[in-house]
Every structure is written in C-alpha cells, then in structure tokens.
C-alpha cells in the first residue's frame, strides 16, 4: 500500500481554557509532527483563546488507519481542551491551514 501523510485538524475552544502548547508536546511525544496556527490568523478568531493546530504522521490510505489516527489524536488533545475536527491523507504539496480562514470569523463553539 502507498504511504501517505495523514493529517488531523485540531481546534481548541477558548471557552474550555485550552492548553494547545501542552497538546503539541504530547502529540510530538506520540510521534506526530505538529504545526501550530500562525500568529497572522489570530485577528480572525472570534474568541481570543481559540486556537488551531495540525498534527500529521506517516500512514497508509486506508479508512480504518485514518480513523485510528483520528481517535489517537482526539484521545491526546481532549485532555487539553481540543478536538480533532477532521482527519485524512494530505497531498505532498499541502500548505498548512490553507482555506481554514476563508470565512471572516471562525468560531468553534
């Protein structure tokens, strides 16, 4: 089977007192590559404590594998006020956070 990068998009709701830094550390310890939301997007958040990150790991293009990766990400980030919103294979030329903030304001809750 073809190996691909599997990425999970993670949202942190400001109302839940999130710890995105702690979540990033835990994800890295579990073998994930983590990309934090760039500061340039902060002004577009509806709540100042909302946050986003992307976690990726090498995997294969298989629904059961993708679901297992999403469950693993969720199990880690929920302890830090996060939620894995979506997960799936990404192309080799993927740009982090592309399209996330197409709307004027993005609210998690």
Contacts of 65 (CB under 8 A, 6+ apart): 6, 59
Q: Could you tell me what percent of the chain has a pLDDT over 70? A: 90
Specify if 64 maps to a domain: yes
pLDDT, tens digit, 9 for 90 and up, residues 21-41: 999 999 999 999 999 988 877
Domain enclosing residue 36, as ranges: 3-90
How confident is the model over 98-109, as a mean pLDDT?
Answer: 54
Specify if 15 maps to a domain: yes
CATH number at residue 35: 3.30.70.970
Integer Cα distance of 109 and 106 in angstroms: 9
Residue 103's pLDDT is 52
Structural domain tally of the chain? 1
| Residue 99: Cβ within 10 Å count | 6
Specify if 96 maps to a domain: no
pLDDT, tens digit, 9 for 90 and up, residues 49-83: 788 999 999 999 999 999 999 999 999 999 999 99
Strand runs labelled E in 28-94: 33-36, 51-60, 82-90
Specify if 105 maps to a domain: no
Specify if 28 maps to a domain: yes
Rounded to two decimals, the pTM is 0.84
Specify if 95 maps to a domain: no
Specify if 75 maps to a domain: yes
Integer Cα distance of 50 and 18 in angstroms: 8
Specify if 52 maps to a domain: yes
Integer Cα distance of 65 and 75 in angstroms: 15
């Amino acid at each position: 089977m073809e190996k691909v990068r599997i990425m999970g998009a993670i949202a942190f709701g400001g109302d839940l007192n999130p710890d995105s830094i702690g979540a990033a550390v835990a994800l890295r310890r579990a073998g994930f590559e983590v990309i934090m939301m760039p500061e340039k997007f902060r002004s577009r958040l509806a709540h100042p404590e909302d946050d986003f990150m992307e976690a990726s790991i090498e995997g294969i293009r298989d629904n059961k594998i993708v679901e297992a990766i999403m469950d693993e990400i969720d199990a880690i980030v929920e302890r830090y006020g996060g939620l894995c919103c979506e997960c799936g294979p990404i192309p080799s030329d993927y740009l982090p956070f592309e399209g996330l903030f197409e709307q004027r304001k993005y609210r998690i809750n």
